[in-house]
Structure 1
Amino acid sequence: MPDNRTTREAAWERSTELPLFYASLVFIASYAVRVLATGASPVLRDAALAVTGLMWACFLTDYLARMVLSRRRPLAFVRRHWLDTVVVLLPQLRPLRVVKLHDAVQARRDRPRRELHLRVITYAGLAGLLLGFSGALAVYQYEHDTPGASIRTFGDAVWWVCETLTTVGYGDVVPVTTMGRLIAVVLMLCGLALLGAVTGSFSSWLLQVFRREDDEEPPENRSSPRAP
């Protein structure tokens, strides 16, 4: 029988997955207002800051609720859910929860389920867009007014993020601040993880399709060795 604590935690996660996804969109939008709307009224910027803090409080509440429902010791919960711990500290990385979907696909590789593969690929694409936009905002915030920086506009930041996430790295624009370089390291790792999730899931789906077609092919249509 399934463990009750695991059932409760899973039920909570299923019920909050979509609302927290929308909360992450609101978080990124309010963060964008803080970074890009430099000429806006102080009231608007303060409101954006309040919304950003409120969304982060929602993420923290979800994390603590799951810790309580799991009935594990805090350190054991952190070790088991290390990715969630990172995400609650850096909410911009919340789209990285695609890793959980990728693990689910790998666990079901002996039971073909095309819908789950497509879900992983779709979610990875959304994660790449959200992470790219968040990374562009963050690197622009720390770089644009730094002496000697090559990332001067938000367009420069978007171009740099595209280079980094796709692991191309032309080197025409690069971060010069310590925080900008830390963001670069995170984006490099995220790009590799998302690329691996997409290619792994797509390859696994193709192999399952070919295997299923071979199993369904009539025996008389299969090639057999000819007699000399």
Structure 2
Amino acid sequence: MKLTVIGGTGLIGSQVVRKLAAAGHEAVPAALSTGVDLLTGAGLDKALEGAEVVVNVANSPTFDEASLDFFRTSMTNLLAAGERAGVRHQVVLSIVGVDQVPELDYYRAKTLQEELLQQGPTPYSIVRATQFFEFVNAIMSWTSNDTTVRLPATRIQPMAAADVVDAVVDVATGAPLNGIRDVAGPDVFTLDDLGRITLAAQGDDRTVVIDDKAGMFAVVDGDVLIGGPDVRLAPTHYRDWMQSAH
């Protein structure tokens, strides 16, 4: 089967391409570096030629209000190009709880992307994943100094990028869901606790302080970032991943 992976050179996309190829599929990475511009549509028709499935893991270059335009334009261009190419399945990677946090521009933008896909002409699947283990240090860096890391006590259920890849490949090589699949890590943490676990594993003696106004996840209420009753749990535990990563 031929699959075109949009954003196929990034953290998730490059691993999706490798995993599909290892399973015997023809996986074509499409990104700016391969001559594909989602915003102008340049190179899209060529990249989708002969593809049965499009896997869209492309990300907006910013997380602010401009991300709305990025996802609106890129999804519209991709659906149109897919229809021209006879694509039979469009897959998008999204975020668990994405439609429950309208305060975040980026989450509103991803919700718009999902809506455009659902209203589009092609059978589709949406894979909603929780936050990646790989981004925990970046999240902490937004609200930290030399002695203190300030984090809200937001409940999250993070997962390894490699497990996200497995979930995306599984859906992309199956029949279209015409719906949403939630995937999440096996453990639920508060973000401040996750910070403490991370610093301890890295031998970092900074103190984590609960600050319910710190960082982008401060606006998240309750359990919206936790997988629902039908969530599929990934196998990798954060503490195990931390040990193997260092």
- Report the TM-score when normalising by structure 2: 0.27
Higher RCO (C-alpha 8 Å, min separation 6): 2
Q: Which has the larger radius of gyration?
A: 1
More helix by share: 1
- Report the TM-score when normalising by structure 1: 0.28
More strand by share: 2
